[in-house]
Amino acid sequence: MNYIKYKVVNINQFGGNQENISDINYRNQLFIFNNFFSDVDFSKIKNFVKNLKFKDDDRVSARKTLCLDQTKFPKLYEIIYNNSRLKSFIKTINPNEFHNPPRFPIEYRIYPRGSSGMNWHQDTSLFSPDAIEGVITIENNSKSEFKWKENNVEKKITPQANTVALVKPGSVLHSVSGTGNGTRTIIKFVIDFKNSKPKSEFHVELNKCPF
């Protein structure tokens, strides 16, 4: 199925701010934005990670990853978590203040050439109440697609650079298809709220996160 553009029906619930409308919104559980960051900020994000070396990811063998300590990458955290568009949008789906910096580190990931991607899954909830998981596509020169299911109907897009996806853990079933002869790099980040507490899964994930 080709890319389909969805709009939030009631724009007034967001005060008429066009920046608070996602290109795709499925049940207020999955939000996808094209060209999310400004050109200047996205260029800075790419520059922060371009020379980093990935490590094996024990959680998913089809990808490699690197967890980025906020004390070593404060400017990267600032660009992402202090982004006015992100902060404004998050308030529309959860009015509670979120931790800045977050309690779980940013991850820089690659699905290398020949990667099988990720099977169908729901994201693990690391906090209670739930956090929000975010993915920024840094580069995708592969055939890798992001897929999700709406009432058992498969939808998909081919994420381009500067595509941002936000998903609520334990909700939307989704997957990542293989890369073929190309690669896809992403930044994964977590938005956790000050009224939430880490679950046992938090410590498991953190221990598996290679720095």
Whichever domain contains 51, its CATH number is 2.60.120.620
Q: How many domains does the chain have?
A: 1
What mean pLDDT comes out for the span 52-72?
97
Per-residue pLDDT at 77 exceeds 80: yes
Per-residue pLDDT at 72 exceeds 90: yes
In a domain? residue 4? no
In a domain? residue 5? no
Mean pLDDT is lowest, of 15-19, 27-31, 114-118, 192-196, for 15-19
In a domain? residue 9? no
Distance from the Cα of residue 51 to its chain's centroid = 21
Which domain, by its residues, includes 47? 37-207
In a domain? residue 80? yes
Instruction: Please report where in the chains the tokens 């890369």 appear, as a residue.
Output: 179
The residues that bridge with 167 in the sheet, in sequence order, are 30, 133
User: 5: pLDDT confidence band, cut at 50, 70 and 90?
Assistant: very low
In a domain? residue 25? no
CB-based contacts of 177: which residues, under 8 Å, 6+ apart? 117, 143, 144, 145, 147, 156
What is the rounded CA–CA span in Å between residue 110 and residue 95?
32
* CA nearest neighbour of 67 among 80, 79, 78, 53: 53
In a domain? residue 138? yes
Q: Is 15 left (phi over 0), alpha (psi -120 to 50) or beta?
A: left
In a domain? residue 3? no
On whether the CB atoms of residues 63 and 112 are closer than 8 A, the answer is yes
In a domain? residue 133? yes
What is the rounded CA–CA span in Å between residue 172 and residue 148?
7
Which tokens in the block code for residue 79?
A: 């660009």
pLDDT of residue 152: 93
